[in-house]
Amino acid sequence: MTTAHAAGTWKLGDQVINRMGFGSMRLTSNPDRDVAIRVLRRAVELGVDHIDTAAFYVTPGGIIDSGSGPRRYATELIREALFPYDNVVVATKVGPGLTPTGDWETATTPAELRTQVEENLRRLGMDRLDLVNLRLTSRTAPVAPRFEALAALQQEGLIRHLGISNATLAQIDEAAAVAPLVCVQNSFAVDLRRDEAMPRILEERGIAFVPFFAIAGPGREDGPTANTHHAVREIAATHHVSEHQVRLAWTLHQGSNVLAIPGTGDEQHLLDNIAAGAIRLSGEDLAWLSGTEQG
């Protein structure tokens, strides 16, 4: 059986991890808590040692709590399944958050960011967060004041490493001038390449690139669209794999620093995602796929 080791490794901060990781956003959409916990534990059994999450990943509905039932937090599922996190890096995010009434708010002040960091610590059962990404909601907003607040929390010992999410190169440079970055999380897929040069630029700087929407592509939060580019379909057929697996394989082929974080609440989908790390696309495959961008 293919394990996460097939995708190769990258040194994230001070720890070498497998490039095939796991995103926890969709965990909360599974109504069966036991299944979600089993999927997490199975992922780690198969070599996954990089888990991506956020305190605002809650049920029902994956991210936004509609008030129709008790909240289930991805961070709490992770704690129940994996604590004390032996040799597992848990990366979380701050910035957007949910109020007790389920409304969105964005942390901008040092006090608000501290509150979100402390919430992550509490729900994960940690004394120090492995990695905190500042999730931006605007690609033009200034970054330095918020990153300075997170750097202060890092100096305090509450955070080990820092990263940034949904950022332009200018925002990345602004953050890096405040404190070292170990990763950048941006939307990126075979047919969703807003910042096509980003993986290479970050690789040259020794920074990990962690794409989200690698499978969903232009469908983003709604998931993969039905109108898959014919190149993805035909390459999948040639390799006898699924279109989702081709998308993940393409993602991992974009640089040695690229870390995949596909998420699922289904064990078979987990196995399929991990197996994608062993797919080797040819130069011809990659050239054909280079023309698939839709958005």
Active site residues: 57
Please compute, for residue 63, the number of CA atoms within 13 A of its CA located in the half-sphere on the CB side.
Answer: 10
Q: Are the C-beta atoms of 6 and 18 separated by less than 8 Å?
A: no
Whether residue 96 has a cis bond before it, omega within 30° of 0:
no
Report the alpha-carbon distance of residue 68 to residue 278 in Å, rounded.
Answer: 41
Task: Tell how far CA 250 is from the center of its chain.
Answer: 16
In degrees rounded to 5, what are phi and psi of residue 164? -145, 150
Please report, as a single letter, which amino acid is at residue 174.
Answer: E
Tokens of 265: 């609440």
